[in-house]
Amino acid sequence: MRLLEGVRVLDLTNVLAGPFATMHLALAGADVIKIENPDGGDLARKLGNVPALNQELMGTSFLAQNANKKSLTLNLKLPEAQAIFLALVPTADVVVENFRPGVMARLGLGYEALRAVNPRVVYCAISGFGQTGPDAHKPAYDQIIQGLSGAMDVNGDERLHPLRCGFPLCDTVGGLNAAFAIMGALYHRERTGEGQFIDIAMLDSVMPLMAWVAANLLIGGLPPVPMGNDNFTAAPSGVFATLDGCMNIAANQQAQWESVCDVVGLPELKTDERFRKRDVRKANRALLTRLLETKLKEKPTTYWVDALNAKGVPSGDILDLATALAQPQVRHRGTIQSVHEPGIGDLKLFNLTAKFEKTPGAIETPPPRLSAHTGEILGALGYSPDAIDALRQKGVI
């Protein structure tokens, strides 16, 4: 049995935050019906670095987060499409959308309308700022939220600041927050029989990730200082140059710091008053880094990683993305799984990374072609082939 076997999700989301949420539900075994506009579908179908796939509406951005889903096209501006959607709602457990606040209500498909036909439905609305408040109706993409959340303020250093995170941080964590909330609401429904409305904001979602930095300001009264690759909580903790490149060292405990001194051959630093205590070491971070790097530059990264890890000091190479994705630990964990898409070939996609003992997740079907399952889904609702053809001619599907 799969974790969410028997759970049906109507997925009205586009681009990243919403599809990332529903991908996790699909990988956990939910029946996810991706409902897309007949005119091009999800914008992510046209996004990616392979123009030929974009032309096929199978862009790499779409492929990354839509495995295990079915595609149904509905032009929800048309009454016939709205009727089809409302006919699906009683069969569903979850509805997820990431339109701007109020769009679904204006279509007559808001939570109140759906609850009227299915009181058990869990309805999750994902947006940049939430459903209420002074900014609720503003447009938002990941980079906008990165700037408004303070995330760009805590990145970078004195040379490059503010600095955007190199992947869509706010979208993805917003999607994870939504998936977590949906699972919690389904658990609540199992105990009470009640569905409910969930309001997920990307802005809300990303801010708690900065809790340690924010606590220094909210409680300690100290604003963040851009520190680049250094860890503000400890020293030495950050990126250090070696003979053949760079490495990460995270000596966050006193014993680990002392082990660093022994391994690199600078035992005298353990009793040096400039470095003996954590907060003093942090204040003298730049000097400490220079002293350590004089030794670290004598030998290659692999030597230091092995030597420091052997002494219990967390250390590691800094890999390029291709090497990171192919490393033995990632292969061992099954983080990436291949699935065959007939028109493209084998696709390497991320699997469910939570490892359930009883109900493991898996990629079972490739991301769907636009409208690939429209006939199947409408047929299950009782529409005849002739009726489906008529809907297609009218632009409903």
CATH value at residue 278: 3.30.1540.10
Give mean pLDDT, residues 361-374: 97
Same domain membership, residue 314 and residue 343: no
The verdict on whether omega for the bond into residue 236 sits within 30 degrees of 0, i.e. cis, is: yes
Q: Are 125 and 97 in contact (CB under 8 A)?
A: yes
298 pLDDT band, cuts 50/70/90, is very high
Burial tier of 344 (Cβ tally within 10 Å: 0-12, 13-18, 19+):
middle
Write down which residue in 319, 342, 360 finishes a domain: 319
Question: Would you state the structure tokens that stand for residue 323, as one six-digit string?
Answer: 């090497």
Examine residue 216 and state whether it is found in any structural domain, yes or no: no
DSSP 347: E
Examine residue 39 and state whether it is found in any structural domain, yes or no: yes
Same domain membership, residue 201 and residue 92: yes
Examine residue 32 and state whether it is found in any structural domain, yes or no: yes
Same domain membership, residue 124 and residue 33: yes
pLDDT the model gives residue 226: 87
Give CA–CA dist 366/346, Å, rounded: 9
pLDDT the model gives residue 1: 84
Examine residue 326 and state whether it is found in any structural domain, yes or no: no
Q: Check pLDDT > 90 for residue 199.
A: yes
Give CA–CA dist 360/3, Å, rounded: 7
The verdict on whether omega for the bond into residue 134 sits within 30 degrees of 0, i.e. cis, is: no
pLDDT the model gives residue 158: 86
Our CA dihedral for 25, 29, 31, 34, rounded to 10 degrees, sits at 40
Range of the structural domain that residue 46 is part of: 8-208+331-393
pLDDT single digits (tens) 164-186: 999 999 999 999 999 999 999 99
Catalytic residues: 171
Token match 């994705």: residue?
Answer: 325
Q: What is the CATH number of the domain that holds 359?
A: 3.40.50.10540
Same domain membership, residue 366 and residue 251: no
pLDDT single digits (tens) 42-92: 999 999 999 999 999 999 999 999 999 999 999 999 999 999 999 999 999
| Model pTM above 0.85 | yes
Write down which residue in 319, 343, 364 finishes a domain: 319
Same domain membership, residue 195 and residue 118: yes
- Which stretch of DSSP H or E encloses residue 341? strand 336-341
Q: Check pLDDT > 90 for residue 372.
A: yes
Give mean pLDDT, residues 231-235: 89
Contacts of 133 (CB under 8 A, 6+ apart): none
Examine residue 219 and state whether it is found in any structural domain, yes or no: no
pLDDT the model gives residue 83: 97
Same domain membership, residue 357 and residue 303: no
Give mean pLDDT, residues 263-287: 95
Same domain membership, residue 56 and residue 76: yes
Same domain membership, residue 288 and residue 169: no
Residues in the chain: 397
pLDDT single digits (tens) 79-107: 999 999 999 999 999 999 999 999 999 99
pLDDT the model gives residue 232: 86
pLDDT single digits (tens) 331-360: 999 999 999 999 999 999 999 999 999 999
Same domain membership, residue 142 and residue 46: yes
Question: Would you state the structure tokens that stand for residue 162, as one six-digit string?
Answer: 């503010």
Same domain membership, residue 195 and residue 48: yes
Write down which residue in 273, 298, 319 finishes a domain: 319
233 pLDDT band, cuts 50/70/90, is confident
Examine residue 257 and state whether it is found in any structural domain, yes or no: yes
The number of distinct structural domains making up the chain is 2
Same domain membership, residue 296 and residue 164: no
Our CA dihedral for 73, 79, 84, 88, rounded to 10 degrees, sits at 110
Examine residue 229 and state whether it is found in any structural domain, yes or no: no
Examine residue 75 and state whether it is found in any structural domain, yes or no: yes
Same domain membership, residue 251 and residue 132: no
How much is the mean pLDDT over the chain? Answer: 96
